[in-house]
Each structure stands twice: as C-alpha cells, then as structure tokens.
Amino acid sequence: MAINKVKGTYDVLPQESYLWQALEEKIRYILGLYNIREMRTPIMEYSEVFHRQSELSDMVTKETYDFDDRGDRRLTLRPEGTAGIIRSYVENKLYASQELEKVYYIGPNFRYERPQKGRYRQFYQFGVEAIGAIDPSLDAELIILAYDFIKRLGLKGVRVRINSLGDDVSRENYQKALVDHFTPHASSLCEDCQLRLHKNPLRILDCKIDGNHEAVKHAPTPQDYLTEEARSYFKAVLDHLNAAKISYEIAPKLVRGLDYYSHTVFEIEADIEGFGAQNVLGGGGRYQKLVKELGGPDLGGIGFAFGMERLLLALEAENVNFAKESELDAYVIVFDQKHKTLATKILYDLRQANLNVDTNFTGKSFKAQLKQALRYQAKYLIIIGEEEFNKGVVGIKNTQTEVQEEVLVSKVCKYLKEKMEK
C-alpha cells in the first residue's frame, strides 16, 4: 500500500523547486541591502519558549505540536520564528555587545490548523527581527523593508496597514475598556471568547468565529486609549514613513495575532487577482517584554514575517515572472553504451569548467535522448557516435542555429567555454 504525505503538508517537486530557490535568493539579496544577517535556530524548542503565561493566542494554546522526547522533556515544533530567535539571542548573550542585532530567518513552522490553499500545517516563513532598541525610526525601518520587499518582487498596489497598541498603561486601559464593552454581550460570544474576556480580551478582536459579531464590529479601538507618550511615539513612526513616501493607512482595529506585541503593529497588503479580502501577505510589530520573559535584559525589539507559500501563490496569480528554470549548457548524447566512459570524462571536464551539463543514464534511444535534451533546454548537444569515437572527435551542435561542428575530444571544454562567453 502506498503511503501518502501527512495531511496539511506538501511536496516541492523538481519542476517547482527553482521558484523556491529564486524567492530565497531574492530574500537574501534584499535583506543584504539592509545589512541584516541570517540566524538559524532549531525547529523544535523546549515548550516553555512558546507556552508562556503571557501568551494566550490560539496559535499557542490550540495549534502547537507538542510532544515528550525519550528523556521526558516537553518539546514543541516551532509555530512561529520570533520566540526561538529571542531564546537564542538571550542564551548566546548577543545583548552583551550592546549593539542592535538585526537578523533574518528562513525555515519551516508547524501549526495544527485546518489546511486550505496557501495555509498548511507545515509552512515556510521568512522573517526579520531587530533586537535591542526602541526607536520610532527602527519601527519605520522594518516597515519600509517589508514594503520594499513586496514591491521589489513585482507585486502591485502594495500598501501598509498600521496601528499602535500603545505602552503598558495604554494596553491596560484598553483591555479594561474591552471588558466593559464585551461583558453585556458575553453570552452571545463563542465559548473561547467567553474565556478570553477575562484572560485576554484583545484576542476577541481576531477571533475566527466572532469576527462578524456586532459587538466586535463596534468595539473600541486601541487608538482611543493611547497615552500621550504612546501617541507621540506612533506619530514619530508615521513621520518616518512619510519621509520615505511609503503608502500606508491607519487600521484602528488591527491587533495582530500574538500577545507579545506592543506599540507598533502592521500588515503588508498588495492587489492580487483572486485573493479578495485575503490579500495580506505578512506583518509584524514591536515587542517590549519578550526578551525579559525569556531570561534576558529588559530590551525591546521589532519584527515581521511573510508566509512563503502565500508569496508564491500571489506571484503566480499576478503572472509575475520573477524566476527562470535553469537551462543546460550542454547535453551529451551517445549512440552506443560502450561510449559511456568517454561521456563520463567529458561530463567531468565540463563541470570542472563550471558548465551545466547532463546525459542520459537509462539507455534511451537517440531520439529519446534528443527529446530529453530539448526538454532541458540544452544550448548545445555533444554527440558521440561510432564514427566520431573512432576519429577521436565529437559532434557539437548549437540547438538554436542547428549548426554542427566536429571538435577534438581534447578541445571540447575550450570550444564550449569560448562559445558560452560569446
């Protein structure tokens, strides 16, 4: 019996992998422009990295993959990238340099949720974290980077939705206002939101079940409860965005889905055919207590993340040709298996000269080999027949001009290098 992939996962097939590679190359190039370096952390962490008393989001309380290892240690497959980055930042004492640490990550995350197009139980994200400072210009820097990245991919109508959750006092006042607002409607809220009302009322605002509830639609906004200091901070962030001429709109009810956010939160949208209202490609925000919660000093940071599956779907929907499948420089065709050793020598020599080359290993006919070479879009064919072999030459054919020449075996590498340079 055939064994299929796990529900909510997918295979990246050979004819698709070049798109992923191109996207990753684009990520690394653009983040390099902003002087951001890569950081790699394990896909599993001790569960307390994610299951903190202060984190009551659905992602952590309902969707994590938790298990005990053979030493009875409780582990969790990472559902998001930030907490693991902060754990590593603290464990390796990167704060000791007193420098701002700007890092990015690319890798898989795991959430047990209902699979749908562009949303999987194993999914890839790339994200950026800037840790060690609180400054409106830094918030703007990361928003500008996220905006710039989507524009550079070639997507249209890129814009920022932004809001402020304010400082501790702002959040405390806002949460009290939410409790007062939702309490008269408690019995009509879903079971989860009835619990959230007293544990973390902010989470009611992004509930999937109660999203269209009248009480949610008419709930107060964080903007109404910002302290003067928080309001001034938010204005400074917007001033920096205005200076860079970044298109944004203030979204008063935007709270994002994680509890560690404070002050600035944002999302990046683009106009994507067929995505409807679901055109949010990524987002993030500032966090002030996460470093301290994970055992570090009282330092703030800001970050964002994009789902890579969603980015690839958006690029496909908008017919953005940002990647090209690799082509072969040459393909070696043999008429007889006894000439395969010569083919092996030629392949090795050409690869040492940094040329992309291949041959057939399944004993196909000349016609089938030719068909395969053209499917790989080989620029040249290297043909080894009985007559050529006896003369110590090969036939080299340009697949575009169809001009074929005889070349000494010892000169094949030099010949093709010169042709490719032209």
Residue 399 covered by a domain:
yes
117 and 87 both lie in a single domain = yes
24 and 125 both lie in a single domain = yes
Separation of alpha carbons 291 and 163, rounded Å = 22
Q: What does the mean pLDDT of the chain come to? A: 93
79 and 102 both lie in a single domain = yes
27 has pLDDT over 90: yes
| Mean of pLDDT values over 105-109 | 97
**What pLDDT, on the 0 to 100 scale, is given for residue 155?**
93
Cα 292 to Cα 48, 74, 91, 230, 288, distances in angstroms: 14, 22, 12, 21, 8
Domain that holds residue 205: 177-220
> pTM value?
0.89
**What pLDDT, on the 0 to 100 scale, is given for residue 421?**
87
Which is more confidently placed, 81 or 277? 81
**What pLDDT, on the 0 to 100 scale, is given for residue 116?**
83
237 and 114 both lie in a single domain = yes
Angle between helix 17-33 and helix 308-317 axes, rounded to 10 deg:
110
189 has pLDDT over 70: yes
pLDDT tens-digit profile of 203-229?
888 787 888 888 888 899 888 899 999
- CATH label of the domain that carries residue 90: 3.30.930.10
Share of the chain above pLDDT 90, in %: 74
Angle between helix 412-421 and helix 340-352 axes, rounded to 10 deg:
50
244 and 366 both lie in a single domain = no
34 has pLDDT over 80: yes
pLDDT tens-digit profile of 270-323?
999 877 666 899 999 999 999 999 999 999 999 999 999 999 999 999 999 888
310 and 360 both lie in a single domain = no
Residue 100 covered by a domain:
yes
**What pLDDT, on the 0 to 100 scale, is given for residue 54?**
74
Among 282, 317, 352, where does a domain finish?
317
pLDDT tens-digit profile of 373-414?
999 999 999 999 999 999 999 999 999 999 999 999 999 999
| Mean of pLDDT values over 123-130 | 97
**What pLDDT, on the 0 to 100 scale, is given for residue 277?**
62
**What pLDDT, on the 0 to 100 scale, is given for residue 349?**
96
Q: What's the number of domains the chain is made of?
A: 3
150 has pLDDT over 90: yes
244 and 119 both lie in a single domain = yes
300 and 409 both lie in a single domain = no
Which string of DSSP letters, residue by residue, matches 362-418?
A: S---HHHHHHHHHHTT-SEEEEE-HHHHHHTEEEEEETTT--EEEEEGGGHHHHHHH
Pairing status of strand 404-408 against strand 393-398 = antiparallel
Residue 201 covered by a domain:
yes
Share of the chain above pLDDT 70, in %: 98
Residue 3 covered by a domain:
no
Burial of residue 187 (number of CB atoms within 10 Å: 0-12, 13-18, 19+): exposed
Q: Which residues contact 71 (CB under 8 A, 6 or more apart)?
A: none
Residue 11 covered by a domain:
no
56 has pLDDT over 70: no
